[in-house]
């Protein structure tokens, strides 16, 4: 499984090629809903995750495995059930990466604003 926290440059910044699977996994509506539900409800079984939805257990399982491969969730066996929980560290790392991109864009926009104002 890819883990965002372990995939950093020498400067400590998250590397884009390791952030991409996280954002790709979150780009699907069903997976995003699963992550939101796990964030709000805590650890849940596949049965609990499928309750009240039109998504089959098989489909939820497939989505959970995709999320796990991206490092967003982790499954633990509790008796006969697999209980899934969010990996908050991974979401925090993804947020940091978005913040880094946002800061870079802010710097570029500020340089552009300064250039435009200098020429007028």
* Domain count for the chain: 1
H-state helical runs in 42-120: 46-50, 57-69, 88-119
CATH assignment of the domain containing 43? 1.10.10.10
pTM above 0.85, yes or no: no
Secondary structure of residue 8 in the 3-state scheme: strand
Domain span including residue 58: 4-119
**Per-residue pLDDT tens over the stretch 61-110:** 999 999 999 999 999 999 999 999 999 888 888 888 889 889 999 999 99
Q: For residue 4, give both structure tokens.
A: 């965002």
In whole angstroms, give the CA distance from residue 43 to residue 72. Answer: 13
């Amino acid at each position: 499984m890819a883990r965002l926290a372990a995939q950093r440059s020498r400067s400590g910044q998250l590397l884009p090629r390791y952030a991409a699977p996280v954002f790709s996994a979150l780009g699907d509506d069903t997976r995003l809903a699963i992550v939101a539900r796990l964030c709000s409800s805590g650890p849940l079984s596949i049965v609990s995750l499928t309750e009240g939805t039109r998504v089959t257990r098989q489909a939820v399982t497939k989505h959970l495995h995709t999320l796990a491969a991206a490092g967003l969730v982790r499954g633990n066996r509790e008796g006969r059930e697999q209980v899934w929980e969010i990996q908050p560290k991974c979401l925090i790392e993804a947020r940091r990466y978005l913040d880094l991109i946002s800061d870079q864009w802010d710097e570029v926009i500020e340089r552009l604003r300064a250039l435009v104002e200098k020429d007028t």
